[in-house]
Chains A and B, each alone.
Chain A
Amino acid sequence: AAGVIQSPRHLIKEKRETATLKCYPIPRHDTVYWYQQGPGQDPQFLISFYEKMQSDKGSIPDRFSAQQFSDYHSELNMSSLELGDSALYFCASSLAGTAGNTIYFGEGSWLTVV
């Protein structure tokens, strides 16, 4: 079965640079989520989109922005990168209305800021 696809899988950027992460949800899923997981931490919710509209917002820095496109893929844009932004970024997707709205995660994108 198709899963959530994230790209790139690994990314190295310098401080103050910009990075863009892409996410392709499971086909027919209408909701996309972004999570950030720092070293030794649990995943922290950043933002979610339902039917291309922002549906919820968590602890996402103002330097970050995201959107969901007409084909339901999503992009997370991170500007003025800081060392503390180094983390594993998960994208996840779900289909609203299904039992539990179970959220399925991609394999994550590793961002290293140097």
Chain B
Amino acid sequence: AQKITQTQPGMFVQEKEAVTLDCTYDTSDQSYGLFWYKQPSSGEMIFLIYQGSYDEQNATEGRYSLNFQKARKSANLVISASQLGDSAMYFCAMREAPSHQAGTALIFGKGTTLSVSS
């Protein structure tokens, strides 16, 4: 079974609109971390936002917020006021058992390509 599921291969949005990118995850660990990364066509991986499994508040970073619904095992990314520069591939990722954070790899979903038009 996939650990991270992103069901939207592509999403299209107009500038200034908000968009939600879906992500569900599967883990039996109580302690885990959830991440969203952006990958533009250049290939670099840009960290956007992090949510720990014990965090009660949804994470927010500027125009990015993470809608964390633990019981449903979902961690959707919300981008408010989309910009042309937001066009990229977006990956949801999970790190299980982050007791030693630096030493545990991330598991990535298949990604969603976001296209923002003017």
Is B a genuine binding partner of A? no
